[in-house]
Amino acid sequence: MNFTESFPKLISKAYSARSQRIRRQRVTADSTALGFDMFSLLTYISALASAGISRDSLLENTIRQDNQLVLYFRQVFLLAKKMGIEYSRAFTLVGRTAKATTVRSLLLRLAGAAASGEGERETINEELEVEKEQFSSQYERSVESLRKWTDAYIAVLVSVTLLMVVVMISTIISPVTTNLMLLVALAVVAISGLFGYVIYRTAPVDVKTYSVGWGPCYRSRAFLLVYVGGLLGILAALVVWKQFGLGPAVIVFGIFLFPSGLYSLRDDNLVDSIDRDLSNFIRVLGVSVTTLQTTIPDVMTRMDRRYMGALEPYVKRLSMRLSYHLKPNYCWERFIAETGSELVRRTVRPFVDAVHYGAKGNSAGTTCSQFALRMSLLRARRALVASSFAHLMIPMHLTVTALLIFIFQVLVVFNTELRDTLGDLNSTPQGQTRPLDFRSVEGLPIDPATLPFFQTQDLGFFYAITMGVVLLITALNSLVPRFAAGGHALKCVFFGSLMLIISGLNLTIIPPVVARLFVI
C-alpha cells in the first residue's frame, strides 16, 4: 500500500478515535489540561476570525477541532442552526450547564458579547488575551508546586528508607515478627507511591507529543525496541537469574531496555527543539505571505531555511510535497505527523485555515506564533525543575537501594556468625569450659539459646521483603521523573532502564563486599 492510500486512512482512523474520546469526556473542573485546550482553541478561533468569516462558518470550523471544549460549541451550534435559537441565548443555555468555572464564564461572556452586537474578532481577541494570562499564571503556579513536591518526595523517600533500615537493624537485638516487617515494607511503598501520585496530579497537564501510528522516526524505533527488547530482555533475565542470581538478571533486563529509552529521550529532545523554533517559522511565514502577496507553497520555496533550526528538514519535505501539487491538507498533516509535536498541530492548523479563508498572513501568523512562544517559554520553566529532579533521582536511587541491600547483607553475616557461635556452644563436651559462660544471679549457668535477644532467624522472608521493596522503589523512581517532566510515556523506559541497571549493580556488588568487610 503506497503513501497516498495509507496515510489518509491513518489520519482518518486517528481522528475517529480521538473524536470518540472527546465525546466521552466531561469537563468537570478547572485544570491546566482544560486551560491548555481553552488557550489553543481560542487561538484557533482568533486566527480564523481575522479572516472575517461569518459566525456560522466560524463555529462550524471550530467544532471540527480535536479539543475537549468542542462539545460545548457543538451544542451552541446545534441550538442555533437546528432549533433557531439566537446565539446569545444558545451560549447562555449551554454556559449554565458547564461545571468548570472557566468554561461557564467564557460561554456567558460570549453570550453577552453576542447580545450586545460586538464583533466576533474583537470579542475573541479580548478573551484570548485574558486566557493567555490566566493560563500562564496557572501553569507557573503548578510549576512552583511541582518544585515543592519534588523536594518533598526526595525527603520522604529517604525518611521511609531509614524507617525500614531501623526495623531491619532491630532484628539483630531482638526477633521481629514477619507481620511487623511486612507492615513496614507496605508503609514504605505506600507512602512513596502516595507522594509520587501527588507529583502526578500536581504537574501541569500539557500534551506534548502527537502520533499517527507509531509516530515519527525516533518514537517508532523506541516502540519497536521496547517490544522486542522487552520480550528478549525478560527471556534473557530469566536465564541469567537461574545461572547467576537476581542482580545480574536485573542488569540484563535494564540493558535490553536501554536502547528504547535512549531513542525515546532523543525523540523528546527533538520535540523540544522543534517547539522552540516553531514560533519564528510561523511568524516569518505569515509576514512573507502578506509581503509577497502570494500563497504559502510559493513562499516556502523562496524562504531561507537556515534559520528554521530543527524544523529545516521537515519544512523542506513539506515544500517539496506542496510543489508537486499534492492535496494541501494531507501535506500539512504529514508535516505534523513527522514532527510528532502537539504544539505544531495546534499552531499550524489555525494558521493554515485562517490563510485559506482569506486572513492576512501577518495577522494570523502573529496570533499563532505568540501561542507557540508562550507555550515554549512555560515548558522551559517546567523543564528546569524536572531536569534537576531527574538528575537528583539517579544518585538518590543509588543511595537508597544500596543502603537497603547493605543492611540486609549485614543481617545475613550477623545471623550466620551467630548461628556458628551458638552451634559451637552447644557442641562443647560436658565438663569443658565454654568460650562464653552466662550465669544468672543465683550463679546457675544459662543457655544462650534461651535468651530473648541475639537469636538466629530465618531470613528467607526478610530477603523477599527487601528485594520486593527494592524492585518496587525502582519502578516508582522510573515513573516519577516522567510525571514531573511530562512528554511521551516512553520516557519511563529510559529512566526505568537506568534504575534497573543501578539496582542490579547494587545487588551484584554489595553482597560480596559486605562478606569481605565482616569476615571474623
Q: Which phi and psi angles does 246 have, rounded to 5°?
A: -70, -40
Q: How confident is the model at residue 436 (pLDDT cuts 50, 70, 90)?
A: very low
- Report how far residue 423's alpha carbon sits from residue 411's, in angstroms, rounded to the nearest whole number: 18
The predicted pLDDT at position 298 comes to: 87
Please, which residues bridge with residue 341 across strands?
209
Q: How confident is the model at residue 441 (pLDDT cuts 50, 70, 90)?
A: very low
Q: How confident is the model at residue 1 (pLDDT cuts 50, 70, 90)?
A: very low
Q: What's the whole-model pTM score? A: 0.84
Q: Which phi and psi angles does 439 have, rounded to 5°?
A: -135, 145
Report, as an integer, the average pLDDT of 288-317.
86
Does residue 167 have a pLDDT over 60? yes
Chain centroid to CA 222? 16
Report, as an integer, the average pLDDT of 51-70.
88
The predicted pLDDT at position 240 comes to: 94
Q: What 3-state DSSP class applies to 438?
A: strand
Does residue 483 have a pLDDT over 70? yes
Q: What would the pLDDT profile of 356-405 be if each residue is shown by its tens digit?
A: 898 888 999 999 999 999 999 999 999 999 999 999 999 999 999 999 99
Most confident of 83-92, 202-211, 389-398: 389-398
Q: What 3-state DSSP class applies to 341?
A: strand
- Answer with the residue of higher pLDDT: 149 or 212: 149
- Report how far residue 509's alpha carbon sits from residue 128's, in angstroms, rounded to the nearest whole number: 58
Q: What 3-state DSSP class applies to 429?
A: coil
- Report how far residue 175's alpha carbon sits from residue 182's, in angstroms, rounded to the nearest whole number: 14
Residue from 216, 231, 232 nearest 267 by CA: 216
The predicted pLDDT at position 348 comes to: 93
Q: Which phi and psi angles does 418 have, rounded to 5°?
A: -65, -40
Most confident of 55-59, 99-103, 499-503: 499-503
The predicted pLDDT at position 24 comes to: 38
Q: What would the pLDDT profile of 409-424 be if each residue is shown by its tens digit?
A: 888 888 777 676 655 5
Chain centroid to CA 216? 18
Q: How confident is the model at residue 3 (pLDDT cuts 50, 70, 90)?
A: very low
Please, which residues bridge with residue 499 across strands?
none
Counting Cβ atoms within 10 Å, is residue 196 exposed (0-12), middle (13-18) or buried (19+)? buried
Report, as an integer, the average pLDDT of 432-449.
47
Residue from 213, 268, 258, 201 nearest 233 by CA: 258
List the grid coordinates of 148. Answer: 515543592
The predicted pLDDT at position 28 comes to: 55
- Answer with the residue of higher pLDDT: 18 or 503: 503
The predicted pLDDT at position 299 comes to: 87
Residue from 32, 43, 30 nearest 130 by CA: 43
Q: Max alpha carbon distance in the chain (Å)?
A: 113
Q: Are 53 and 125 in contact (CB under 8 A)?
A: no
Mean pLDDT of the chain: 84
Determine the straight-line distance between the first and last CA of the chain, rounded to whole angstroms: 72
Does residue 444 have a pLDDT over 90? no
Q: What would the pLDDT profile of 320-357 be if each residue is shown by its tens digit?
A: 998 888 888 889 999 999 999 999 999 999 999 999 89
Q: In which residue are the cell numbers 527487601 written?
A: 466
Does residue 175 have a pLDDT over 60? yes
- Report how far residue 450's alpha carbon sits from residue 508's, in angstroms, rounded to the nearest whole number: 36
